[in-house]
Amino acid sequence: MGKAIEAVFDGKVFRPLEVVTLKPNTKVILIVESISPPEEEKSFLEVARSLDLEGPPDWSERLVVCQS
């Protein structure tokens, strides 16, 4: 029976991030697959700037606010 368990390697041992229901000294096989850290979230302004959009220089002066 197999089960995937996330763990952190501290340089010497793997530390599970959840409860493991095995008896002490139980032999297991570990298949190690690195998980990339999530990308850091960007602000709206950072995303907008990265899009390199082109448009009239007076966009902010031409905003139309819709009211209902």
Tens digits of per-residue pLDDT, 37-57? 777 888 888 888 888 877 777
Tokens representing residue 51 in the block: 């899009």
Backbone angles phi and psi of 56, in degrees to 5: -65, 145
Q: Give the pTM.
A: 0.45
Q: Which residues 6+ apart lie within 8 Å of 7 measured at CB?
A: 14, 15, 16, 17
Residue recorded with tokens 């602000």: 43
Q: Where are the domains of the chain?
A: 1-31
Please answer whether residues 15 and 8 qualify as being in contact, where contact means their C-beta atoms are separated by less than 8 angstroms. yes
Q: Does the structure show a pLDDT above 70 at 3?
A: yes
Residue recorded with tokens 């302004």: 45
